[in-house]
Amino acid sequence: MSGPVEGTGAAWYAMSMLRTIALGLGFVGSFAVSGCGSSLAGFCANETVAAGLEVHLTDAMSTGPAGQPRAGKYDFHVTTELGELTWSCEITAGDDIGTGCASDHEVTAEDGERRLLVSSVASDEKFWIDLKVIDAAEWRGPDEVHVEISRDGALVADETYAPKYAPSPASGAEGCPIYYAAEGEPPTIEL
C-alpha cells in the first residue's frame, strides 16, 4: 500500500498508531450508524490497548540500540488467512533503528468485511511487525502468520506462528469491537 516513512522512530510510531486508530474509528463509525452502539464515547482509541500480534525482529550484528535490523535491502513476505503482503525497503548505513523499513500495508479479505493491517515499526526500544485483523465485532491478530525476510537477496528468516488470543481488558463500548491480544511473550525472529 504505502512505502517507507521517513523520520524518527517515535514520530513514525505515533503516525502509525494514528493511522490505525483513524482506520478503526472510520470502520467502527460506519457501523455505529447502523446500530453498533449508542455512542462511541466508550470506544478505546488508545495506543496502549493491546490488540493483535507483534513479531519482534532482532539482529545480533546490529549497531542499533536494541538490536534493530542492520543496514541492507530487505524483502518482507507475510502470509495469513486473509492473504499475502510483500514489500521491499532499505535500511541505510547510519539508520540505527531501521526507519528505512518502517511502513504500513493492508489487505481486505474476500468477504470485504475484515482487513489485515500490517505495520513494520521502528523505535529506539525495538523493531517489530504489528499485525491486526479488524472488523466490526473485534480486533485481533491472524490465526496463523508466515513471515519470510530476505536481506540483500539472502533468506534470513522463515518462521510460522499460530498464536492464541485473549480478550484485552480495555475493549470498546457496548456493541463495538472487542480487542484480543496474543497470549504470552511476543515471538522474536533472529535475523
Question: Mind listing the pLDDT tens digit for each residue in 53-79?
Answer: 999 999 989 888 889 999 999 999 999
* Residue 83 within any structural domain of the chain: yes
Residue 102 pLDDT greater than 80, yes or no: yes
Task: Please indicate, yes or no, if residue 4 is contained in any of the structural domains.
Answer: no
Report the predicted TM-score, pTM, of the whole model to 2 decimal places: 0.75
Q: 157: which 3 cell numbers?
A: 528468516
Residue 1, domain member (yes or no): no
Specify the pLDDT at position 4: 43
pLDDT value for 124? 92
Assess contact for 40 and 33: CB atoms under 8 A: no
Q: Which domain holds residue 155?
A: 9-190
Residue 136 has pLDDT above 60, yes or no: yes
* More confidently predicted of 84 and 38: 84
- pLDDT number for residue 153: 98
pLDDT band at 46 (very low <50, low <70, confident <90, very high): very low
pLDDT tens, position by position, 150-173: 999 999 999 999 999 998 876 655
Query: 16-33: per-residue pLDDT in tens?
Result: 554 555 455 444 444 333
Greater model confidence, 176 or 86? 86
What is the tally of structural domains in the chain?
1
Report the candidate in 36, 13, 35 with the shortest Cα–Cα distance to residue 138: 36
Q: At 137, is the pLDDT very low, low, confident or very high (cuts 50, 70, 90)?
A: confident
Percent of the chain with pLDDT strictly greater than 90? 58
What is the reported pLDDT for 64? 83
Of residues 38 and 48, more confidence is placed in 48
Is the pLDDT at 122 greater than 90? The verdict is yes
Asked if residue 81 is part of any domain, the answer here is: yes
